Structure formats: structure tokens, C-alpha cells
């Protein structure tokens, strides 16, 4: 059978180091693939005025599966300053290429697993009975709606008269904000559609069914945000009742969920939320299992089969130019493991996951974050593993 083609998009900063090492791990596990490089990120903003060139979109359109490292984003003024001189007069505006990918391909299903590895020194611990220390095993998968809600960009400062007048027809707007001069009003909207809400809810329930989780928790705030969260809750109730009667539906408010995060994280299975609350709750759970060096994610569109797999972390520019890369590649490796699961290579995915688990459990090879060091270049002399040494250790276990 012909090799599968994967679009490898290293991006900026540490993106390249973690992606290169991850591809070595995939090769060592026996994954047969050709990698084509997709240009994305700050370099292409500076040289072409577009951080997401059309040729990259076309590559993903064709090959469907992408591995993405990380990109650098900078504030508006800096973005303009760094633009090539001949592009400066063109009125170009920088926008995040990863958000651009999500929007272009409708990658509305974002999946972020957070699982405790035994022996990870960064695992959350809590006080048990008496003097006992407990280390709860977290096994949570967050389903985050990835394209709507507060991050969709429908917002204004000093809105047009037409927009302002429309808002003034809402009694709550008139009562709470009618006294403020229009010029002093900023509005960011939270819009949910039934279709996208249903898709993320069903994706969450399907995952729970497939992998045997006993519950799906809707993490929103329907008692206060009555329309969007309220609609999502009603739909969740009906989907659970009609199609997943054997899976429990739990309902938590995002604020309370963050309070319970450290109290009983082991009780949760699949969690589903809108865009912003999904972002918040997934970072919260990631903190319990080791933080940015371990947080992986997938974003996909089930209709087209187009999917992009990426670590949650950014380009960590501080560390990008070290002669020897010190960052933890596990978040990127785990993202590639999610890719293997997605394309039906479950056995290979398990093999890599077990190898990562074995390295962590053994505890001999640890990157600087796992040793709770500050990330200076001399961490290697102090016994921390480099990015490459961590990948080597995983490969050895394979």
C-alpha cells in the first residue's frame, strides 16, 4: 500500500525541534508516511505578508492530515515593523494562522486529553486523610467547540449607530448600558448555533461510548448564560436521553468546575464545553498532569476528514535559539499519537503511548520542566535531558 502523506507544519521557534523529534519517533514505531512541509508562521508573515500561504491550505486540502508545531504571534505594531519593506504600504493586517486554519477548514471539533502518567514528578498531589498524600489519576478528555462563541471575532468598540441601536432594543442592554456613551462601549458577542453545538455534543458522547467512559460532563453556565449555555444544556439532555441512555450526563458550571479541579479531578471522564470555557477547563486539567510539556490536542472536521494535531504550547521563543534544544517533546509526540488514533492506527498509537509511559515511569530521562528547573541552556549539564535525548529514550522503549 502507498505511504500516507502527512503535512508537517513546524511553524516557529521550538515548533521545529519538537516536530522533528516526533517524526523520528513515528518512524521508529514503524509508521509508514511521507512528510511534505507546509509553510506557516511568522517567517511567512515577514517575507510574504501572509502567515498562512495558500500553498499550505492546498497541501492540507489534498492530504487532509496535518501535524503542527507552534507559531509566534506578536502585537500589531511589531507585526508591522517586521514586515518586509516592500510590503509595508499594502495595508496588510496580521491574523493568527492557526485560527485561520480552524476557520478555513471548519475544524470545529477540538479534543484535548489530559491523562496522568505514573511517575511524572509534575503530577498534581493533594492532602488526603490525616497526613496522607494522594495522587489522583486523571483521565479526562475535553471536547471544546472550536469555531464559535466568544472567540469568533464578532465584536466592536464604539459600534456603528445601527449596531448600537439594535442592542438598545434589548431591555437588558438598555437598562445596564444605556447610560454609557456609545464611544465608551465595547461589545464581544457569544454566538452558538444549533448545528455546531450538536456536533460537539455528539462527538463527546461518541467518544465516551467508544472508550467506555461512564459520564459526559457539560461544563458551561446555563443558570446565568441562559441562551447559549442554556441551549447547549437542553440539547445535551435530549441527546443523552434519546441516544446515549447508558452514559450519565453531568452538568457543572465553569467556575465551580475550576474549584473542584483540585478536589476530585479523578471523577470526571469526558467534558464538553463551548469555545472559551473549553479552553479554560482544558488548561486547568493540563496543569494537573504536567502542564505545557504534556498538553496535546486535535482539531478536526468530521465531514471532510481534515484534521490538524498540535501541542497546546506556543513557540517559546526564549528557547528557540539554544544550541541544544531543551524543551519537552512529549506534548507533540502525544499529539501525533492522537493522529494515529484518528487515522485508524490504534495499535501503533498504543505502542508509542506505552513507550512514553515507560520512560516517565522509569524516571531516568527527564526534560528540564520535569526536573522543576528554570529553562536555561545549562540544564543539560545539570542532568536534564535534551529534546532529542527524550525522543531517543522513547524510541529505545519502542
User: By CB under 5 A, how many residues form the interface with Mg ion?
Assistant: 2
Of these, 22, 56, 72, 116, which contacts ligand NAI (CB under 6 A)? 72
Work out how close the CB of 338 gets to Mg ion at its nearest, in angstroms, rounded to a whole number.
17
**392 sits near Mg ion (criterion: CB under 5 A):** no
Contacting range for Mg ion; rule: CB under 5 A; set: 90-98, 140-148, 202-210, 274-282: 274-282
Burial of 171 (0-12, 13-18, 19+ CB in 10 A): exposed
Q: Does 293 bind ligand NAI (CB under 6 A)?
A: yes
The listed partner (Mg ion, ligand NAI, none) that binds 279, CB under 5 to 8 Å by sort, is Mg ion
From 331, 340, 348, 380, residue interacting with ligand NAI (rule: CB under 6 A): 331
User: Of 49, 222, 290, 314, which lies in the binding site for ligand NAI, with binding defined by CB under 6 A?
Assistant: 314
User: Grid coordinates in use for 205?
Assistant: 458522547
Which of ligand NAI, Mg ion, none does residue 301 bind to, with CB < 5 to 8 Å depending on kind? none
Q: What is the C-alpha to C-alpha distance for residues 262 and 287, in angstroms, rounded to an integer?
A: 10
| 123 Cβ neighbours under 8 A, 6+ residues apart | 116, 117, 135, 288, 289, 290
Q: Which residues contact 179 (CB under 8 A, 6 or more apart)?
A: none
User: 31-62 burial, b if ≥16 CB within 10 A, otherwise e?
Assistant: bebebeebbbbbebbeeebbbbbeebbebbee
Regarding 327 and contact with ligand NAI (CB under 6 A), the answer is yes
Q: Report if residue 341 touches Mg ion, rule: CB under 5 A.
A: no
> In the set 36, 150, 292, 357, which binds ligand NAI (CB under 6 A)?
292
Helix (H) or strand (E) holding 112: strand 109-115
Dihedrals φ, ψ of 344, to 5°?
85, 20
- Residue 334 in contact with ligand NAI, rule: CB under 6 A: no
Stretch that binds ligand NAI, among 139-147, 175-183, 272-280, 310-318 (CB under 6 A): 310-318
| Interface with Mg ion, residue 279, by CB under 5 A | yes
C-alpha span between 47 and 285 (Å, rounded): 38
Per CB under 5 A, 12 contacts Mg ion: no
- Cα(319)–Cα(376) distance, rounded to whole angstroms? 8
- Distance (Å, rounded) from C-alpha 4 to C-alpha 398? 21
Q: Which stretch binds ligand NAI (CB under 6 A): 69-77, 87-95, 129-137, 335-343?
A: 69-77
Q: Per-residue x/- marks for Mg ion, 280-319, CB under 5 A?
A: ---x------------------------------------
Q: Is 315 exposed, middle or buried, given 0-12, 13-18 or 19+ CB atoms closer than 10 A?
A: buried
How far apart are the C-alpha atoms of 382 and 373, rounded to whole Å?
9
| Residues making contact with Mg ion (CB under 5 A) | 279, 283
Chain contacts with ligand NAI (rule: CB under 6 A): 18, 70-73, 98, 292-293, 313-318, 327-328, 331, 369, 375
Amino acid at each position: 500500500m502507498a505511504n500516507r502523506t502527512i503535512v508537517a507544519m513546524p511553524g516557529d521557534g521550538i515548533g521545529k525541534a519538537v516536530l522533528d523529534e516526533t517524526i523520528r519517533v513515528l518512524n521508529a514505531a514503524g509508521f509508514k508516511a511521507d512528510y511534505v512541509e507546509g509553510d506557516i508562521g511568522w517567517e511567512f508573515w515577514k517575507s510574504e505578508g501572509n502567515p498562512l500561504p495558500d500553498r499550505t491550505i492546498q497541501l492540507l486540502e489534498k492530504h487532509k492530515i496535518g501535524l503542527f508545531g507552534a507559531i509566534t504571534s506578536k502585537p500589531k505594531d511589531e507585526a508591522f515593523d517586521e514586515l518586509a519593506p516592500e510590503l509595508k504600504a499594502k495595508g496588510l493586517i496580521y491574523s493568527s494562522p492557526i485560527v485561520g486554519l480552524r476557520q478555513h477548514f471548519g475544524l470545529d471539533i477540538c479534543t484535548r486529553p489530559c491523562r496522568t502518567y505514573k511517575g511524572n514528578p509534575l503530577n498534581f498531589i493533594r492532602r488526603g486523610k490525616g497526613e496522607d498524600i494522594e495522587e489522583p489519576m486523571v483521565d479526562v478528555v475535553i471536547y471544546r467547540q472550536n469555531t464559535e462563541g466568544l472567540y469568533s471575532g464578532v465584536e466592536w468598540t464604539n459600534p456603528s449607530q445601527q449596531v448600537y441601536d439594535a442592542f438598545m432594543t434589548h431591555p437588558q442592554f438598555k437598562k445596564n448600558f444605556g447610560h454609557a456613551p456609545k464611544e465608551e462601549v465595547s461589545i464581544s458577542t457569544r454566538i452558538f448555533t444549533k448545528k455546531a453545538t450538536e456536533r460537539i455534543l455528539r462527538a463527546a458522547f461518541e467518544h465516551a461510548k467508544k472508550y467506555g467512559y461512564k459520564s459526559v460532563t457539560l461544563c458551561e453556565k446555563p443558570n446565568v448564560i441562559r441562551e447559549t449555555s442554556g441551549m447547549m444544556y437542553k440539547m445535551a439532555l435530549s441527546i443523552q436521553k434519546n441516544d446515549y441512555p447508558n452514559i450519565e450526563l453531568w452538568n457543572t458550571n465553569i467556575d465551580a468546575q475550576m474549584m473542584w479541579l483540585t478536589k476530585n479531578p479523578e471523577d470526571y471522564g469526558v467534558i464538553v464545553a463551548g469555545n472559551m470555557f473549553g479552553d479554560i477547563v482544558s488548561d486547568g486539567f493540563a496543569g494537573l498532569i504536567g502542564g505545557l510539556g504534556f498538553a496535546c490536542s486535535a482539531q478536526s472536521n468530521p465531514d471532510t476528514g481534515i484534521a490538524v494535531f498540535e501541542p497546546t504550547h506556543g513557540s517559546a521563543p526564549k528557547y528557540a535559539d539554544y544550541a541544544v534544544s531543551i524543551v519537552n517533546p512529549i506534548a507533540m509526540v502525544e499529539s501525533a499519537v492522537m493522529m494515529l488514533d484518528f487515522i485508524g492506527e490504534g495499535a501503533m498509537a498504543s505502542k508509542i503511548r506505552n513507550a512514553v509511559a515507560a520512560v516517565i515511569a522509569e524516571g531516568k530521562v527527564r526534560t528540564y520542566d520535569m526536573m522543576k528547573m528554570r529553562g536555561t541552556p545549562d540544564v543539560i549539564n545539570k542532568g536534564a535531558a535534551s529534546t532529542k535525548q527524550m525522543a531517543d529514550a522513547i524510541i529505545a522503549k519502542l
